[in-house]
């Protein structure tokens, strides 16, 4: 698997007229090599691939990254880079310009002398947008963990229970099901707090008559899931039913419209347009969705701001419209879907109809 990904990087390297690329961003490093340690640099040329790490991770690196030669620097990484560049005629080196710190850049610049440092920001991230079958298998399992957790937590949501306690139980359940961690801090927002799209779980207690938004995801073997459901504690009011129905229909339309060949702006408008038609344009202020993979927010973006790149088969994106009214509350419904040639596969299987607890 890593060899196929290396071939793609080497093709990108040739297109940019680079002699090598240096990869340090954790998600990119793990994607290309399989190495999951917290310290490591990949140096990739048309013919060679090195994984630079220290004593703590040398054995792990050799096991996880068989396509790479593992090297332990004797002094600094910058000094080792200088040696490798000299030995292998590397004169144009691609670096992750959106991730390398100023201090690291200065060290590389000083050690490498007259050699050119060229930003490859976004290059590997673009490759990561298209998931292969191995990645999709892991993402389906991450989504299944979230589904099982949602089903489990419904019996815990009742008046008097704190949002934070619900979040703790959800984290425990996901880890019991095999998750290695949370894709992001669990959002549990009840009552008027549900008007906050990113209302991370607080000490507030659930009360009867409230909507409760749950946005959460698992990390399974390095890959994230992302799902949102909004539930009702007690009998909903007419307005709560109305707003939920609008968001649900917008989300269903977005999922139905997801396919290869549509772009992010067009897909955003499918959801946003329906909400606008019902008078809540100003209450939907975030994007309709985003890509998911090794990182919870990846490309492509599904937003009103002009993302016109076409969706392609193998991309995994979220569809998550919402309506948020300050002082009243909010509703969001989100599914994670796989873009296919003539439609999409939803990884999120939990029912979307209003659940009344």
Dump pLDDT digits (tens) for 162-174: 999 999 999 999 9
**Under a CB-based contact definition with an 8 Å cutoff, are residues 34 and 2 in contact?**
yes
**Mean pLDDT, all residues of the chain:** 96
Task: Please tell me what DSSP assigns to residue 42.
Answer: E
Map out the domains of the chain as residue ranges. 2-128, 133-356
Band of residue 245 on the pLDDT scale cut at 50, 70, 90: very high
The structure's pTM equals 0.94
Band of residue 154 on the pLDDT scale cut at 50, 70, 90: very high
* Across 222-227, average pLDDT: 98
CATH superfamily of 2-128: Creatinase/prolidase N-terminal domain (3.40.350.10)
> Is the pLDDT reported for residue 308 higher than 80?
no
Q: Does the fold of domain 133-356 match that of domain 2-128? A: no
Is 133-356 a domain of CATH 3.90.230.10? yes
DSSP 267-323: HHHHHHHHHHHTT-GGG--S-SEEE-SSSSSEEEEESTTT--PBP-TT-EEEE--EE
E-state strands within the chain: 20-23, 41-44, 49-52, 69-71, 92-95, 116-119, 181-182, 187-190, 210-216, 218-220, 223-224, 227-233, 289-291, 298-302, 316-319, 322-325, 329-332, 335-340, 343-346, 355-356
Other Cβ atoms within 10 Å of 243 Cβ, number: 26
- pLDDT tens profile 105-122: 999 999 999 999 999 999
* Across 65-78, average pLDDT: 94
> Is the pLDDT reported for residue 229 higher than 90?
yes
Query: Which pLDDT belongs to residue 306?
Result: 63
């Amino acid at each position: 698997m890593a060899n196929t990904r290396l071939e793609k990087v080497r093709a990108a390297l040739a297109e940019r007229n680079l002699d090598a690329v240096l990869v340090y961003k954790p998600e990119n490093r793990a994607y290309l090599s399989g190495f999951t340690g917290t310290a490591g640099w990949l140096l990739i040329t048309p013919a060679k691939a090195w994984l630079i790490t220290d004593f703590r991770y040398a054995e792990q690196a050799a096991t996880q990254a068989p396509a790479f030669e593992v090297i332990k620097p004797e002094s600094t990484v910058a000094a080792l880079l200088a040696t490798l560049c000299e030995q292998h005629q590397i004169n144009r080196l691609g670096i992750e310009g959106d991730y390398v710190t100023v201090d690291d850049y200065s060290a590389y610049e000083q050690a490498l002398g007259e050699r050119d440092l060229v930003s490859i920001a976004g290059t590997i991230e673009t490759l990561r947008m298209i998931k292969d079958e191995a990645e999709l298998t892991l993402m389906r399992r991450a989504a299944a963990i979230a589904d099982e957790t949602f089903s489990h937590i419904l019996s815990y949501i009742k008046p008097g229970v704190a949002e934070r306690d619900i979040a703790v139980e959800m984290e425990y359940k996901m880890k019991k099901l095999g998750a290695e961690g949370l894709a992001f801090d669990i959002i549990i927002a009840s009552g008027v707090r549900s008007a906050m799209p990113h209302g991370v779980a607080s000490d507030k207690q659930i009360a009867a008559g409230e909507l409760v938004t749950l946005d959460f995801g698992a990390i399974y073997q390095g890959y994230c899931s992302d799902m949102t459901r909004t539930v009702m504690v007690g009998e909903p009011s007419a307005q709560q039913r109305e707003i939920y129905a609008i968001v649900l229909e917008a989300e269903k339309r977005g999922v139905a419209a997801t396919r290869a060949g549509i772009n992010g702006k067009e897909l955003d408008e499918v959801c946003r347009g329906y909400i606008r038609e019902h008078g809540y344009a100003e209450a939907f202020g975030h994007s309709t969705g985003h890509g998911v993979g090794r990182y919870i927010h990846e490309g492509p973006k599904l937003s009103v701001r002009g993302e016109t790149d076409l969706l392609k088969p193998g991309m995994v994106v979220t569809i998550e419209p919402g309506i948020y009214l300050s002082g009243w509350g909010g509703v969001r419904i989100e599914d994670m879907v796989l873009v296919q040639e003539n439609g999409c596969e939803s990884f999120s299987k939990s029912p979307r109809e209003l659940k009344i607890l």
